[in-house]
Structure 1
Amino acid sequence: MSRAPAVLIVEDDEILAASLVTRLTLEGMRPTLATTCEAAIDALARIRFDAVVSDIRLPDGSGEDVFWSEHERLGPTPTIFTTAFGDVEQAVRLVRLGASDYLLKPYDLGALVTRLRDLTEDAPAGREMPAGSAAMARVLTALDRIAGNRENVLLTGPTGIGKQTLARRLHAASGAPDRPFVTVEGAALTGAEGERLLFGAIEGGVEHQGLLDDVGEGTLLLAEVGDVATDFQPRLSRVIGERLWRPLGAREEKVFAGRVVATTSRPIAELLADGTLRRDVYQRLAVFEVAVPALAERREDILPLALGLLADAGRLRADLAGLAFAADAEAALTAWDWPGNIRELRNRIVRAVTLADHPEIDAAALFPDVAVLEESADHKLEAARRDAERQTIEATLAENNGRIVDTAKALGISRVTLWSKMKRLGINKT
């Protein structure tokens, strides 16, 4: 079972918002609606989204505020802005700063769905995780050693680091790769709906199978275990510890014969301290606990990863042959700290390839936000220098009653240099 992409919709128009939620749900995506800037930023802090669709104008702010909230925390998440004609200039500027695209209202929902599929499409199955670094080599060695063991595994590490890819690798090496691999998001396990989803139910004499039935003797990937509702966790604990569960409405229990691989991006100590994760659930999941290092801690892996992702992204641009990174792009890739890890790396490469007009991807294409912001900072610094220089010359002129010779002498420059600076800075002799 492939993972349905999670999409944040930021839209305050009730009719349009309802249409978006319905259409994306029918398309197999997992939409979350936020009608205000504040609600969107709160959702981004709690949930890992694969893409964002945001209006520019919101009741309490701007879609730009939403964009930068996620950008500063985890790097660029694929973002599509929707805008009225009057806000096109702002939308174009945001695309230059790293947004994926913009659509003019009213827009075709089919076109939006197609664009979202391009942006959230998974990399081809079987993509190997590079292990040129000692840190990653230790992780892969540990996974290889426990692959044949059916005990539960907990993968920890920052968001976007590839924990789900590693879970699939573990499953493939388990000795029974043809058995099911089923993913469930921790946030989906809440209330009766969560119980029906995981355990199944007998309703009206008809049995509806849950995900545990689908797993069989395969692997259940529990993504972000810290998002599981606390009142749901006792039932989860019984499944992963005693391997028993009972569907809703059933009298007899079933035996779980599969393996649970759980992930968390939040530190375990933090989850346990604030009661988000029950200690018994943690202890039963962490029979084997493997910490996956951040991308910045294994820089030797960045370029091999980037090259693989570039090849994947190239499938979106059949018109561009011979895609490659320019020398400055390779240097920038290895120098960047990657707050969003592999997720950010993929997003930057997909965006650069999608917008490219030639096959050589340079640093500016990968880091348009950095280039523009640095350019803006340079302009501000230059303006500050000019202001300071103007104020100094004007003050010195005033102290010397406008006498050029005395002013130049006081400043330690020649009269010609002073005249030149006064002309450039628009200072008139008084």
Structure 2
Amino acid sequence: MESNSSRILIVDDDPIQRRLLQEAVKRFGHRVKMAENGVEAVRIMTGPEGADIDLIILDMVMPELDGIGVLTQIRSQKISTPVIVQTAHGGIDAVVSAMNAGAQDFAVKPVSPERLNVSIRNLLKVSALEGEITRFRKQASGTLTFSDIITNSPAMERVINLGTRAASSNIPILIEGESGVGKELIASAIQGSGDRKNKSLVTVNCGAIPDNLVESILFGHEKGAFTGAVDKHVGKFQEAHGGTLFLDEVGELPTDVQVKLLRAIQENEIEPIGAKRPMKVDFRLISATNRRLVDQVKEGAFREDLFYRLNVFPIWIPPLRDRREDIPALSRHFLARFAAEEGKPQVSAIAPDALDLLQAYNWPGNIRQLENTVFRAVVLCDGASLTIDDFPQVSAAVQQAPQVPGHRIPEPPAIIGSEDSQTSTVTPTSAPPETTYADAPTSASQEAFRHAAPFGFMRNLDNDGHVRQLNDVEEELIRTAINHYSGRMTEVAKRLGIGRSTLYRKLKEYGLEEAADGKGAAA
């Protein structure tokens, strides 16, 4: 669909040439913007429309302002949009002049559609990859800004507006949103847009630290402060001195550590374990959580006074399913990155129907899941473009489960996606009240039950049409969880809602120890 494609500006004073290029570019699956001369092209690129242009096809010979003049003006404005110049005269001097002025490619009229398509695809891929590299460098150096964030969504524009306002002050910020929506990226942009840019951004995943080590990692300890403390350890608060401390999943902090965090925020001082006196620290605090802290306060799992200290300037990041406009651009950027990393430069585009499929999916794992899905597709792809066949799991999840006699399938269930796996699993946790089953399935339904369930769905009935036994369903669910979370037993137990000792007992009951060991049985 047009809305999923790149937007290309065609600049030519010849109306016939403009029309020919327009038809060719549309056939390639892109959107087109037309400019009749160089002056109009500069106006478009330096105005609000310029941000939506992904590539320019520019004629060299035009009255009033020629191609070199256009290139000179837009490059002087720091506009880095890739440019293909074309002219009827292909002399070496013309090529050198165009390249020196900032063009990325050169074509001699009349250019063949095949040649033009290859040039467009290559430049779009290179542009996306350069953007990814720039973001990585800026994030590492503390200079990432909101202009580096890929988005076409009004919902994200609101997030960026809030973040921009907050960046200019030292106000504590609480970023809320589901796992994988980009909370750390927003935190980086806030830090890189404020007075503490170029300073360190120290990130702590509070949910990944064992409870007995949280205090030491955050606040540090002195040598000999406890058994095993053979050296002095500088905590994360001290590392962030002068910069920004980002506490991800802050709701996972133990209650006793919450008390010390409250004091650190109130007094701007910390007390390392075993220290004789408190230590002053200068830091900007940004917290994040994928759970509603106010609900944890009501449940007594999070201190109310600390909640009000953290929740001074709340920012909520919408999930990817509520900003589907971002999916095409994000997918293309991930494609460019992974095609380069995997040594597959021939994979340079995503078919329009594949982008439609990606936009139809709900992405429970959000941007992180989309990233991993594109990674897997690039590895699978044997052609020049990612197609629907390269996204088999997404395709299966989007499709409705097949109807069989006596069994009405409800609306597609919620999809449970792993933050860091390259696959996703779809499991309806319970059947809605309106789901009905026939007392005795027909022979046609028996045949239907023999077919495997669509990817991610668990079958409720056996081959004879009877409800499956609980033990069978439980064993299948545990096996799926082990595969889905790559044998990380702490995560498996957490997602299944059981203790680790219970999980290991069930592994023994169902003879799944070997399956767990094969996945590494990571803690």
**Residue 236 (structure 1) aligns with:** 261
> 1:389-404 alignment to 2 at 5 Å?
none
CA gap of 1:364–1:275, structure 2 versus 1, over 3 A, is farther
- 1:295 is aligned, of 320, 329, 341, to 320
1:139, 1:257 → 2: CA distance? 26
> 1:255-270 alignment to 2 at 5 Å?
255-270=280-295
| Coordinate RMSD, CA, aligned | 2.9
Cα offset for 1:193? 2.1
**Residue 157 (structure 1) aligns with:** 177
Say whether 1:124 aligns with 2:136: yes
**Residue 345 (structure 1) aligns with:** 370
Structure having greater relative contact order (Cα 8 Å, sep ≥ 6): 1
1:324, 1:380 → 2: CA distance? 38
1:167, 1:124 → 2: CA distance? 14
Say whether 1:369 aligns with 2:393: yes
> 1:201-240 alignment to 2 at 5 Å?
201-204=221-224, 207-240=232-265
TM-score normalised per structure 2:
0.47
**Residue 22 (structure 1) aligns with:** none
Say whether 1:387 aligns with 2:407: no
Cα offset for 1:145? 1.0
Query: How many matched pairs?
Result: 266
Conservation of the 8 A alpha-carbon contact between 2:358 and 2:394: no
Identical pairs, percent: 31
CA gap of 1:279–1:190, structure 2 versus 1, over 3 A, is farther
Equivalent position amino acid for 1:314 in 2: A
Cα offset for 1:370? 4.3
- 1:280 is aligned, of 298, 305, 311, to 305
Say whether 1:171 aligns with 2:228: no
Equivalent position amino acid for 2:444 in 1: D
CA gap of 1:373–1:210, structure 2 versus 1, over 3 A, is closer
1:193, 1:226 → 2: CA distance? 16
1:389, 1:259 → 2: CA distance? 63
1:224, 1:374 → 2: CA distance? 30
Cα offset for 1:137? 0.3
CA gap of 1:255–1:190, structure 2 versus 1, over 3 A, is farther
**Residue 155 (structure 2) aligns with:** 135
Equivalent position amino acid for 1:124 in 2: F
SS of corresponding position for 1:235: helix
CA distances 1:115-141 after superposition (whole Å, capped 9, x unpaired): xxxxxxxx8354832332211101001
Cα offset for 1:163? 0.5
Equivalent position amino acid for 1:360 in 2: S
CA distances 1:168-195 after superposition (whole Å, capped 9, x unpaired): 1111112332211111111256655222
SS of corresponding position for 2:300: coil
Equivalent position amino acid for 2:171 in 1: E
Say whether 1:146 aligns with 2:166: yes
**Residue 70 (structure 1) aligns with:** none
SS of corresponding position for 1:232: helix
**Residue 360 (structure 1) aligns with:** 385
Cα offset for 1:348? 0.7
**Residue 202 (structure 2) aligns with:** 182
Cα offset for 1:164? 0.8
1:283, 1:375 → 2: CA distance? 44
**Residue 26 (structure 1) aligns with:** none
CA distances 1:298-342 after superposition (whole Å, capped 9, x unpaired): 122221122222222222222332421011111112222211111
Cα offset for 1:201? 1.3
1:171, 1:386 → 2: CA distance? 64
- 1:313 is aligned, of 317, 320, 338, to 338
2:328, 2:169 → 1: CA distance? 32
1:340, 1:191 → 2: CA distance? 26
CA gap of 1:193–1:358, structure 2 versus 1, over 3 A, is same
CA distances 1:229-256 after superposition (whole Å, capped 9, x unpaired): 1221101111122211111111121112
Conservation of the 8 A alpha-carbon contact between 1:189 and 1:228: no
